[in-house]
Amino acid sequence: MIGLDTNVVVRFLAQDDETQSPVATRLINRLTAVNPGFISAVVLAEITWVLSRAYKSSRDDIAAAVEGLLRSSELVVENAPAAYRALGVYRGAASAEYADALINETAALAGASETVTFDARAASELGMRLLR
pLDDT at 42: 97
What's the chain's average pLDDT?
97
Domains of the chain: 1-78 (3.40.50.1010), 80-132 (no CATH)
The pTM of the full predicted model, rounded to 2 decimals, is: 0.93
User: Backbone phi, then psi, for 76, in 5-degree steps?
Assistant: -115, 120
Q: Give per-residue pLDDT as tens, 101-132.
A: 999 999 999 999 999 999 999 999 999 999 99
Residue 47 confidence class, pLDDT cut points 50, 70, 90? very high
Q: Are strands 116-117 and 75-77 parallel, antiparallel or unpaired?
A: unpaired
pLDDT at 116: 98
Cα three-residue angle 71-14-55, rounded to 5 degrees: 110
Integer Cα distance of 82 and 103 in angstroms: 9
pLDDT at 32: 98
